[in-house]
Amino acid sequence: MALNRGYAYRSQVGPAAAGQRLIDWLGTSYRHSSPAQWAARLAGAELTLDDTPASGEERLRAGQVVIWQRPPWDEPDVPLTFEVVHEDADLVAVSKPSGLPTMPAGGFLEHTLFTLVRAQYGDVHPVHRLGRGTSGLVLFARSVRAAAALARAWRTHAVTKVYRTLVSGDPSWTSLDITTAIGPVPHAVLGTVHAATADGRAAHSAATVVERRGAESLCDVRITTGRPHQIRIHLAAVGHPLAGDPLYVTGGLPRRGTRVLPGDTGYLLHARAVQLAHPEHGRPVEFVAPLPETLQTAAERSG
């Protein structure tokens, strides 16, 4: 554990919240904390409404700004290392370990890959992110121009990402295209999480079994869409959840009534390759992050 410097969280009140009491809005909008916790923070003068100390009894108007000045807190211990896979004037590709969050969120502010990469490379722009439990490739742009080009490539599905994972069971197929839609479903703590749902957004994963291990199997998964937790949801949706996944079960839904969060770890998923056009010259490039030994096939370990 290490004490960070605290952080000011800023939110703008939307039209739907107009007329609500601030304390009620906080309790329903930010369910990671209980109403009693929000009341204690208000009593401790940690929140302002339009730069004025807030009591919680204020009736909100659309457009108002709420700031929670969160005091310094102890961040959980996580691996604080990364491996540089490639760097040039436009981008840097790194491989992160499982357990290290990509970006600040929740209880993590300084114990993140973004903070570590920024300390080494200065002003970088994250192009995408991996879940905390996922290891492997993450790209950062080193200029606004490169960031715009890479963001456009991600938005137009011009980037191919290949993952290696360990799933539960022995699939009846060798290769399978999975097109289950992904969207928000209810969650006891967060309000909603992404999961398999008929009215969600389109998503596509191409899964291939590369080694069968009896009760578990190694799969390579190629994706062009990048929905949140897509691979975890898609493999669960076809009956083979990631081995050790604490959240997603067969069907691609969260465990019923669970308080497990998407960032909780326990599964094995590695972003092993990214293929795209380089933002400077436009020629195809591929970046590859070495596989952890636990995700290597017997042939890969021996060869």
The average pLDDT across 33-49 equals 95
Q: Which residues does residue 73 pair with via DSSP β-bridges, in sequence order?
A: none
Helical (H) or strand (E) element with 217:
strand 216-223
CB 245 within 8 A of CB 269: no
Q: What is the mean pLDDT of residues 280-287?
A: 95
Return mean pLDDT, the chain: 95
Tokens 């290490």 sit at which residue? 2
Measure the CA–CA gap between 223 and 231, rounded to whole angstroms. 8
Domain boundaries, the chain: 2-75, 157-267
Q: What tens digit of pLDDT does each residue of 218-252 get? A: 999 999 898 999 999 999 999 999 999 999 999 99
Please name which of 75, 165, 127 lies closest in space to residue 287, comparing C-alpha atoms: 127
Mean pLDDT for the stretch of residues 189-193: 88
Superfamily of domain covering 2-75: RNA-binding S4 domain (3.10.290.10)
Three-class secondary structure of residue 285 per DSSP: strand
In this prediction the pTM is 0.86
Computed from CA positions of residues 27, 28, 29, 33, in that sequence, does the dihedral angle turn out positive or negative?
A: positive
Q: Alpha-carbon distance 295 to 66, whole Å?
A: 45
Q: Report whether pLDDT(1) > 80.
A: no
> Residue-wise over 187-214: b if at least 16 C-beta within 10 A, else e?
beebeebbbbbeebeebbbbbebbbeee
Contacts of 210 (CB under 8 A, 6+ apart): 164, 218, 219, 220, 297
> 19: Cβ–Cβ under 8 A, 6 or more apart, which residues?
59, 60
Alpha-carbon distance 111 to 188, whole Å? 26
Whether pLDDT at 96 is above 80 = yes
pLDDT at 161: 96
Residue-wise pLDDT tens digits, 105-148: 878 889 999 999 999 999 999 999 999 999 999 999 999 999 99
Q: In a 3-state reduction of DSSP, which class is residue 10?
A: strand
Task: Please say whether the beta carbons of 167 and 241 come within 8 A.
Answer: yes
Q: Is the torsion defined by CA of 47, 52, 58, 62 positive or negative? A: negative
- State the pLDDT confidence band at 65, using cuts at 50, 70 and 90: very high
For domain 157-267, the question of CATH label 3.30.2350.10 is answered with yes
Strand spans (E) along 71-115: 74-75, 83-87, 91-96
- Mean pLDDT on 43-52: 96
Same fold, 2-75 and 157-267: no
Percent of the chain's residues with pLDDT above 70: 100
138-189 per-position pLDDT tens digit: 999 999 999 999 999 999 999 999 999 999 999 999 999 999 999 999 998 8
Q: With a cut of 80, say whether residue 64 has pLDDT above it.
A: yes
